[in-house]
């Protein structure tokens, strides 16, 4: 009922005056936004523009879920944070910026991982969920949660120059699982931390997610339900793919198999973290300091670099052999199984996958450089940059 919506103060009317002039929004629409609640999963590249624009638009209650801290390397794309916020909790940094932008809204923060154990509790007060993560376990968790609780899921993803946006609402169309019934094999799709992302790309995709959220909250326009928007920044192209609901979908189909939240890390075969770099453990890791001592001992050790060739321009280890991870399986014959080997990449994630491949192929004298060449730069050779 319109009469039950919160009133706008005089200064709010002035703040939102450009909205009030739009017939599709108007005074009643702005009151709806003030009464609305949105949960944003992640305050990184995508979460930054989403949170800023929803705060500026006057969405009355916004929840933020993240458990990372602001890192210097985030600032290239995570525009809600600043240099002064380095080392601060991302949710605290984001809330501070949002309330500076609009002190008339409520910002709830959840400094914890979003998991099957806490997802229902965190999401319960919010009518709409926006997925700003970059890992598959959380994407499937958000999707299943939205299907099971009857909420819409505003989805976005980014990689290098490409982005995707859609609205998954099982009440009116397909869900994420209708499009992707199973996650890709672990390691097949690199994260932004491994493959990179153009700094402005999350601004474009996040702004589109915020647009879809406002349309849903206001009940205007045609949301991207049943459509997947594909964006490429290099040729500035927008394409649309029509999506259909899968009647056999395991979560939103006529006979669903998934009726409760499951273990999504086990389902996807990868950790549900955006920022924690991989480590193998189990005796297969070697630290930068340990590798330095090993190299000083004059033992014959092959250093295997599984990064991409262009990364050598940033930093490299003398004497290392370059075989990018994507080529490793076809080039195993070039390596000596009898020789001690240390595999490394930027931060230890790709090399951990390379080590698993080497072990499965019969290599045994092999270690993974924990933390990658960045750890070497931080602990052994400060002349190398960290990236």
The CA distance from 318 to 316, in Å, is: 6
Radius of gyration of the chain (CA): 23
Residue of 146, 252, 268, 345 with catalytic role: 345
The CA distance from 153 to 175, in Å, is: 8
Helix/strand/coil percentages in the chain, nearest 5: 40, 20, 45
DSSP H helices, the chain, are 10-15, 17-20, 26-35, 47-57, 90-101, 119-123, 136-149, 176-179, 192-195, 201-218, 264-268, 288-296, 325-328, 349-360, 372-379
H or E, element range at 181: none
Residue 156 contacts residue 49 (beta carbons within 8 Å): no
H or E, element range at 238: strand 237-242
Residue 213 contacts residue 39 (beta carbons within 8 Å): no
In the block, tokens 């103060």 appear at 9
The CA distance from 37 to 52, in Å, is: 14
Supply 106's token pair. Answer: 């409520």
In the block, tokens 């998934």 appear at 258
H or E, element range at 286: strand 285-286
Residue of 192, 249, 252, 268 with catalytic role: 192
Q: Is 252 a catalytic residue?
A: no
Q: Is 178 a catalytic residue?
A: no
Residues with catalytic function = 192, 345
């Amino acid at each position: 009922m319109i009469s039950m919506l919160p009133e706008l103060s005089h200064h709010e009317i002035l703040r939102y005056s450009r909205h009030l002039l739009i017939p599709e929004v108007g005074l009643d629409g702005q009151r709806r936004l003030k009464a609305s609640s949105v949960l944003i999963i992640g305050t990184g590249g995508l979460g930054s523009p989403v949170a800023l624009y929803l705060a500026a638009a006057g969405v009355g209650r916004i929840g933020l879920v993240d458990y990372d801290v602001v890192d210097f390397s985030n600032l290239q794309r995570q525009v809600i944070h600043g240099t002064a916020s380095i080392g601060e909790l991302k949710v605290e940094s984001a809330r501070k910026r949002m309330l500076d932008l609009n002190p008339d809204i409520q910002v709830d923060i959840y400094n914890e991982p979003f998991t099957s154990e806490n997802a229902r509790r965190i999401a319960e007060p919010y009518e709409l969920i926006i997925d700003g993560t970059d890992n598959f376990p959380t994407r499937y968790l958000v999707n299943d949660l939205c299907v099971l609780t009857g909420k819409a899921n505003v989805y976005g993803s980014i990689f290098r120059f490409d982005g995707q946006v859609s609205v998954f609402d099982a009440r009116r169309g397909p869900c994420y699982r209708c499009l992707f019934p199973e996650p890709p094999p672990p390691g097949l799709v690199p994260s932004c931390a491994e493959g990179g992302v153009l700094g402005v790309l999350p601004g474009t995709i996040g702004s589109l997610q915020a647009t879809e959220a406002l349309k849903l909250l206001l009940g205007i326009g045609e949301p991207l339900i049943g459509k997947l928007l594909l964006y490429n920044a290099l040729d500035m192209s927008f394409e649309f793919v029509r999506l259909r609901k899968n009647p056999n979908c395991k979560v939103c189909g006529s006979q669903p198999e998934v009726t409760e939240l499951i273990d999504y890390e086990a389902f996807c075969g990868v950790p549900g973290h955006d920022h924690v770099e991989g480590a193998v453990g189990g005796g297969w890791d070697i630290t930068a300091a340990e590798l330095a001592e090993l190299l000083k001992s004059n033992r014959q050790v092959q250093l295997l670099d599984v990064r991409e060739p262009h990364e050598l321009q940033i930093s490299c280890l003398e004497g290392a052999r370059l075989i990018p991870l994507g080529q490793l399986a076809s080039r195993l014959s070039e390596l000596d199984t009898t020789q001690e080997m240390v595999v490394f990449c930027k931060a230890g994630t790709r090399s951990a996958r390379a080590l698993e491949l080497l072990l499965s192929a019969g290599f045994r004298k092999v270690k993974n450089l924990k933390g990658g060449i960045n750890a070497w730069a931080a602990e052994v050779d400060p002349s190398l940059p960290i990236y």
